[in-house]
Each structure stands twice: as C-alpha cells, then as structure tokens.
Amino acid sequence: MFDLKAYLANKSSRINRALAAVLKTSGKPDRLLEAMSYALMAKGKRIRPILCLAAAETIDGDPQEVMPAACALEMVHTYSLIHDDLPAMDDDDMRRGQPTCHKAFDEATAILAGDALLTLAFQMLSSMATNDHNRQQAFKWLRAIQLISHAAGYCGMIQGQMLDMASERKDLTLAELKSMHRLKTGALIEASVSCGAELVGVNSTQIHMLENYAQKIGLAFQVTDDILNVEGDPEIMGKAVGTDERRRKTTYPALLGLAESKEFAAQLVKDALRALDAFDQKADPLRAIARYIGERNH
Amino acid sequence: MFDLKAYLANKSSRINRALAAVLKTSGKPDRLLEAMSYALMAKGKRIRPILCLAAAETIDGDPQEVMPAACALEMVHTYSLIHDDLPAMDDDDMRRGQPTCHKAFDEATAILAGDALLTLAFQMLSSMATNDHNRQQAFKWLRAIQLISHAAGYCGMIQGQMLDMASERKDLTLAELKSMHRLKTGALIEASVSCGAELVGVNSTQIHMLENYAQKIGLAFQVTDDILNVEGDPEIMGKAVGTDERRRKTTYPALLGLAESKEFAAQLVKDALRALDAFDQKADPLRAIARYIGERNH
C-alpha cells in the first residue's frame, strides 16, 4: 500500500528546502524579500510542485532533475495568490493560515512581491543553462518556461482570474464554469504534470495520458474547492469559508447541489485514475494524489 | 550627419508592428487584451527596444534577429509603468498622453494586464526555439530571458521601485539616489543594450564597452527625467510634472540644483560617447541616442 502521507511530507520538505535556497541566493534580506518569503514559505499544500516531481517519477525520471521547474510552479502559484487576494481583486484577509501578504505588509509591497516571485520563477529557470558545459540543456529549460508562462499568462491563469471576477453576481452555465476553472486553476496544474514529464523525456503516448490525468484532477481540485468553501473547516483550511456565497459566485454546489458535486468530483477522480491505467507502480504517487484531491479537507 | 529622427521613426514603427502582431496572436480580443493593448500600444518613446536593435547593429548584427527581445523589453517596461501608476503605488492619472490603465479600465484589470504583459514577454521569448529545426537557438533565447528577468526582478527594477517608494519623505544621499536609479531604470536599460549585443554574438571587449555606455545613458536618462519633472511641459510629456516635489522625493535637481544637474547629465552623455570610441560608424545610432537623452524634452 502506497503511503501518500509520507510521500507528501518527504516531497514537501525537499521542495521547501529548494525554495528557501533560491530565496537565500536572491539577494540581501530586506522588506521585499521578506514579503516574498512570507508568502512563498507559508504552509501550502505544494500540490503543483509535487505533481511535477511525481510526473517525472512516473516515467522513471529523476525528480531532483525537475526541481527547478517545481519551484518555479510554486512561485507562480504563490504570486497569483498574492495578487488575487489584493483589495482590488478578491480582497481576502487570510491565506495559508496567516494574514494575506497585503495585510501583513502593505498593498504596494504585496503587488511588488507578487511581481518579483513571477519574475524570479523565469529568472531561475533561465539560469539553468548559462555556460558551455550545460548548453545542450538550454532547450529543455526554455520548454519549461514556455509551458509555465503559457499556463500562467493571458491564455491561462490570468484570463481565468478575469473571468472569475466578471462572474461575480452573474449566473454561469456549467460549461462556462468549467471553462473558467480550466483556465484559472486547471492550466497551471496541467503544466505542472507536463513540465515534470517533458523535462525527463516523455514520449507522445505517455504525455497524452498524463495530460488527460492532469485535466481531470485539475477540475476535481476546483470542484472540491467549491465544496470546501461550503462545508470546510476554516481552522483546517487556513482561510475563510462561505465567501463564494457572499460574493454570489457561481459554483458547482450552487449549480449541481452539494451531493451531485461530490459525485462529480468522485467521477473525475475515477477518470483520472483510468487515464493512468497503462502506467506501472511508478505512477502510484499520481494515483494517490488523485484520490487525495477527491477526499481532501483543506 | 546621422538622421536620428528618421532612425527613431523607422525603428518605432517596426517595433509597433511587431508588438501589435504579438498581441494579435495572443488570443481573442476581450477586456484583458484590450487593457494590455491600451497600455502597450500607447505612444511611448520605445527607448529600450530601440537600444536593443541599435546595439545589435553596432556590432554588425541584424536588428530583425533581436526583435523578439526588443518587444519583450517594451512589454516588461510597460507592465512596470502600469503597476507603478496604481493607487497603492505612485497613484498617477496620466501616462503616455492618456489616462493610466487603472483609470481607463479599473484597478483589478490594470493589475492583471501588467501581470499578463510580464508573462507574455517570457512566453514570447520561450517560444522562439521549440522544434528541432531551431533547437540550437535555444541557448540564445534562454540567455535573453535571463538578462531581462534579472534586470526586471528582485535584484533590479522591482527592488528600485521598492527603494523609490521608501525614499518618499526621506532624504537620500547622492550615492543612495544613484544606486536606487541604477536599479529602477538603469538595470532594464543596461539589459536592453546587452541583450541586443549578446543575441548577435558580441565579444567580451565589446560587451564591456557597451555595458559602460548603457550605464551612463541609464543614469543620464534618470537625471533628465528629474529635470523634466521640474521644468518640462506636461503637454509634450504626456504626464504630470512637479510630482516629485509634491511627494518630497529626493531628486538630482533637489540635491544638486537645476544647473548642476544639467551639467551632470551632459557629462554622463560625454562619458557614454567616450565608451563607444572603439566602434565605427555602425555605433552612430547609439551615439545619437545618447545625445538625444541629454537633450530630450519628453
């Protein structure tokens, strides 16, 4: 039986060490770096970087080899949380069990800390192949930047946040809701899996199956997020609940009801597992993560 | 006699066409793309991308080859203007002769449009070498991303904006003022020159001279910026003047007086020209740009 708890703890601690090392070499400590570190090193699930490492392992790659991409994904995710929490956006006070970045520091510092984390992600990846020794690695890291920037940018996450804000006080259809979430959270989750796999040399059949897996868990993640916003425990989650209803946002529970939303999430997890059928036990971490997403309480 | 006016007009129009083409292929038109385009296609001097093209020409490179880097530099510059103008930062109403992005749209859209332009810069550069045909070009574009992200990020432009905000209502020494500006505007101007030169194969003696040039004009640019904030014409400049004094910012005119600031700018331009002594007439555009920075009225 695969021990997911131990796996997640082990990977999280490796990721946290790698993130701390990047911050440490980024410059001398000051208010900006403090704000970046405050948001980045807060207790997060590290789902995206762990997916990246697990996808590499699934096709027998060395997870340490894709660690820079894993770190970049977490930086991009954290920047998006800082900006989404701003007063002009979702105006949230709590995140990852602590005051949001603009509450702990100030609005200007939060905007710049987000900008700096986004930039640092690409700075770090572009520094992976800068001398003749590792010149032939350049293509690989350029591809990682392409995958992550495409998922994070205008055609992905940022577009999703625009649609999400526009959807407040507006009824969406199920198709519109799915497409909004595919952009807002799905794109970066999909990039996490494909980055991890592509960097260690995936073949085209495998990448197709992994993309299918990532698409299903990305959507499942959002459905459970909506469910937790209705019935989650704010203590365990480290952020407020009930906010979707107050903002009159279209959610899966609002559209489908709570019971049917749970069934939908369960079906998505089943679909994700089926997408991995052709892989051996090296895909067990990805399988366990899919189940975990369906059952998570935070 | 080198015709700078014609040169700038010609380069600007090429750059504008290239920028418009990138936006056009970025996705379907909507409010986010509209805000990105509003800020990016506004009447700007295009100094950074022009420096990038002119640096390539100086060492006999094809300027069209470095156009993606030139576009990325203008995107990064524009994103920084959008975020710096936000109410939580400098709270400016006018920019490039039109209402600032958050005035024309709204604050949330402006934050996201800035984020999207920054991300698009790296997305575009990372898409330059994605198939086997141009695989050997990957190193070059990875290096461009490294130069630009380093200049834009925590150790460069963003750090400069943090220091700039912290300096309001606080007296800086001349050394502190120079170091703040070296980060805030100098770093990206230096990256513009080195990017243009490195992408077409500069040698180490040449890059050293070009970096020296860039450092001088970067500082000269900021000194004239401060002078124009005192005695410029808001009509010609497309933004308000007198704002530094109102915010009690330390500036060159405040520290050195207006006359001595002008002498300082003139000396920096002379130093920049001297740095180019070893180059032939192919450096004439860079020379003319240095003189133009010393004499500009907007």
Q: Look at phi and psi of residue A280 and say left if phi exceeds 0, alpha if psi is from -120 to 50, else beta.
A: beta
The pLDDT value recorded for residue A237 is 80
B162 and A107 in contact by Cβ < 8 A? no
* Residue-by-residue DSSP string for A155-210: TTHHHHHHHHHHTTTSPPPHHHHHHHHIIIIIHHHHHHHHHHHHHTT--HHHHHHH
Option in A107, A112, A146 nearest B123 (CB): A146
Residue A276, Cβ neighbours under 10 Å: how many? 18
Q: Give the chain B residue nearest A22 (alpha carbons).
A: B154
Predicted pLDDT of residue A132: 66
pLDDT (0 to 100) of residue A234: 85
Q: What is the pLDDT of residue A277?
A: 98
Min CA distance, A156 vs chain B (Å)?
Answer: 10
Q: Which residues pair with A94 in a beta bridge?
A: A99
Nearest to B78 by CA among B30, B102, B31, B46: B46
Nearest to B114 by CA among B163, B75, B167: B75
Give the best residue of B106, B126, B148 to mutate against chain A (max A CB count within 10 A).
B126
Question: Is the dihedral angle over the CA atoms B260, B264, B265, B270 positive or is it negative?
Answer: positive
Q: Is the pTM of this model over 0.90?
A: yes
B132-164 in b/e form (b: 16+ CB < 10 A) is eeeeebbbbbbbbbbbbbbbbbbbbbbbbbbbb
Chains A & B: contacts with CB separation below 8 Å: 151
Spatial distance between the Cα atoms of B190 and B182, rounded to a whole number of angstroms: 9
The pLDDT tens digits of the residues spanning A77-129 come to 999 999 999 999 999 999 999 999 999 999 999 999 999 999 999 999 999 98
Q: Is any Cβ of chain A less than 8 angstroms from the Cβ of B32?
A: yes
Q: What is the pLDDT of residues B24-72, one digit of tens each?
A: 987 778 999 999 999 999 999 999 999 999 999 999 999 999 999 999 9
What is the per-residue pLDDT for A253?
Answer: 94
CA A220 to chain CA centroid, nearest Å: 13
Candidate from A123, A128, A150 with C-beta closest to B149: A123
Q: How far is it, in rounded angstroms, from Cα B64 to Cα B41?
A: 20
User: Do B26 and A154 contact (CB within 8 A), yes or no?
Assistant: yes
Other CB atoms within a 10 A radius of the CB of residue A165 amount to 18
Let me know: does A290 contact A54? Beta carbons within 8 Å. Answer: no
Q: How many angstroms separate the CA atoms of A48 and B159, rounded?
A: 28
Lookup result for tokens 């740009």: B289
B94 - beta bridge partners?
Answer: B99
Token pair listed for A199? 């960097």
Query: What's the CA gap between A120 and A72, in Å, rounded?
Result: 8
* Integer Cα distance of B256 and A58 in angstroms: 64
Query: At residue B271, what is the residue type?
Result: D
Q: Which residues of B touch A27 (CB under 8 A)?
A: 154-155, 159
| Phi, psi (rounded to 5 degrees) for B250 | -75, 125
- What CA–CA distance (Å, rounded) separates B226 from A196? 48
State residue B134's pLDDT score: 76
Instruction: Please report the pLDDT score of residue A35 as a whole number.
Output: 97
Calpha distance A197→A210 (Å, rounded): 8
Give the single-character DSSP code of A86.
Answer: S
Closest in A112, A126, A146 to B146, CB measured = A126
> Using CB atoms and an 8 Å cut-off, which of residues 50-89 of chain B contact chain A?
79, 83, 86, 88-89
> DSSP per residue over B155-194, as a string?
TTHHHHHHHHHHTTTSPPPHHHHHHHHIIIIIHHHHHHHH
Quick one: residue A28, left, alpha or beta (phi over 0 = left, psi -120 to 50 = alpha)?
beta
What is the per-residue pLDDT for B132? Answer: 66
Q: Which residue(s) pair with B99 in the sheet? A: B94
A123 touches chain B (CB under 8 A): yes
Evaluate if residue B76 carries a pLDDT over 70. Answer: yes
> At residue A110, what are phi and psi to the nearest 5 degrees?
-65, -45
Among A118, A120, A114, smallest CA distance to A102 is for A114
* Cβ atoms < 10 Å from Cβ of A127: 17
- What is the mean predicted confidence (pLDDT) over B188-213? 97
Check whether B195 has a pLDDT greater than 70: yes
Partners of A83 on chain B (C-beta within 8 Å) are: 111-112, 115
Residue A103's contacts (CB-CB under 8 Å, 6 or more residues apart) are A93
Going from N- to C-terminal start, the domains of chain B cover 4-295
> For residue range B224-264, what is the model confidence (pLDDT) as tens digits?
999 999 998 888 888 888 888 888 888 999 999 999 999 99
B207: contact with A, CB 8 A cutoff = no
Specify whether the CB–CB gap between A179 and A222 falls below 8 A. no
Interface test with A, best of B34, B89, B158 (most A CBs within 10 A): B158
Q: pLDDT tens digit string along B87-138?
A: 999 999 999 999 999 999 999 999 999 999 999 999 999 999 877 667 778 9
Q: What is the pLDDT of residue A232?
A: 86
The per-residue pLDDT of chain B, averaged, comes to: 94
The helix or strand, by DSSP H or E, that contains position B94, with its residue range, turns out to be strand B94-95
Q: Do A145 and B145 touch (CB under 8 A)?
A: yes
Give the per-residue pLDDT at A26.
Answer: 77
- Tell which B residues from 128 to 167 touch A, by Cβ distance under 8 Å: 128-130, 135, 138-139, 141-143, 145-146, 149-150, 152-155, 158-159, 161-162, 165-166
Architecture of domain B4-295: Orthogonal Bundle (1.10)
Cβ partners under 8 Å of residue B277, min gap 6: none
d(CA A145, CA B146): 11
For B155, the closest chain A residue by CA position comes to A27
Where chain A has pLDDT below 70, the residues are 132-133
In this complex, the residue of B106, B145, B161 whose CB is nearest that of residue A126 is: B145
Pairing of the two strands B98-99 and A98-99: unpaired
Is the Cβ of A20 closer than 8 Å to some Cβ of chain B?
Answer: no
User: Helix, strand, coil % (nearest 5) of chain B?
Assistant: 75, 0, 25
**Helical axes A204-231 vs A187-199, angle rounded to 10°:** 150
Residue in this structure with the two tokens 């698409």, named with its chain if needed? A215
Of the pLDDT bands very low, low, confident and very high (cuts 50, 70, 90), residue B215 is: very high
